Amino acid sequence: MDLTTTYLGLTLRNPVVASASPMTQDVDGVRRLVDAGVSAVVLPSLFEEQVRREEVSDTMLQEVHEGSFGEARNYFPDSPTTSLGGVRAHLSLVERAVQASEVPVIASLNGSSRGGWTEIATALAGAGAAAIELNIYAVPGDTYTSGAEVEKRHLDIVASVCSAVSVPVSVKLSPFFSATGALAQAIVNAGAQGLVLFNRFVQPDIDPVRIAVVPNVHLSSRTESRVPMTWIAILRNQIRTSFAGTTGVEEPEDVAAYLLAGADVVMTASALLRHGPQHATHLVTGLEGWLAEHGYDSVNAVKGLLSVGRHQDAEGYERTGYVAALRKARQTYGSLT
């Protein structure tokens, strides 16, 4: 059985990838995931705010000693070895993870502004990252920033990073754009070699007892895979790029479903956090069993079997599915109108 797949130009031993999570934040966690069978690992994101905060901290540390006695040279703090300040610790994680793993290590960047990405991305690539995943987290909460401006910000960031590094770049998109297909094509045109669909926003909750806004992080459920699978199926034959499906991956059947929609790899974090790194073994062996049961001898044989055809009307395809779903619901629950 041939489980190999290609993602971002990288040949992977199977399509199961460990996405960024607490399990990939140290070398021991990466080793456990690789030993369990994942074909690549995405490290936790390096946040734009983290970089800025540490750069300010480095600057303040040096400035506070500017008036010190000039001959007491050992009193001065060591200058940062790079302008990236405390990012050195993250670069060290990339280097050590690469050395400890025989599978590709993908670095992740999370931010929203145009500045600073190029230098950081170059440093991550220099640390040995096989690819870079851009996680552009921008939620315009004002009433004057247009959708076109938000999209342009994405494209500017993608273009600047892709022009600065030689390793492949993927972009983890939000599902909340008004024209997802057009933006996805524009991102690929800007130089990205892959799309990760979709990003799950961390949404705050309101505690009516404490009368406070509180952070709320919850693991994904299997039903959340429907939106990314739909878009992968729609875009698979329209955009020439790599596709990663993420969110809602719990069982081998979920991996198979993403592949049938057209994904090249399937990323999971929640299932690994729920069940431990050994769950990756379950996903890989289960996929192999599913392929054998259905008479397929490779992952490539099933990729995109249920995607929208190149000359098929994607809007009509989705509309047909919508109408069919309503018809089935009426049969089950009665009239919905």
Q: What is the residue extent of each domain of the chain?
A: 5-306, 312-337
Task: Tell me what pLDDT residue 204 has.
Answer: 78
- Extract the tokens encoding 327: 């018809």
Backbone angles phi, psi at 213, to 5 degrees: -85, 125
Sole residue written with tokens 């999370």: 110
| pLDDT value for 61 | 37
Q: Which residues of the chain have pLDDT under 50?
A: 55-65, 67-82, 322, 325-326
How far apart CA 43 and CA 37 sit, in angstroms, is 16
Give the type of residue at 290: W
pLDDT in tens, 276-313: 999 999 999 999 999 999 999 999 999 999 999 765 66
List the one residue out of 157, 169, 177, 173 whose CA is nearest residue 194: 169
Q: How far from chain centre, in Å, is Cα 154?
A: 15
Q: Are strands 16-18 and 10-12 parallel, antiparallel or unpaired?
A: unpaired
The CATH class for the domain spanning 5-306 reads alpha beta
pLDDT (0 to 100) of residue 319: 55
Scanning the structure block, which residue is given the tokens 């875009």?
235
Packed helices 147-164 and 117-126: angle between N→C axes, nearest 10 degrees: 40
> How much is the pLDDT for 321?
57
Kind of pairing, strands 212-214 and 205-207? antiparallel
**pLDDT tens, position by position, 173-221:** 999 899 999 999 999 999 999 999 998 876 778 889 999 988 777 788 8
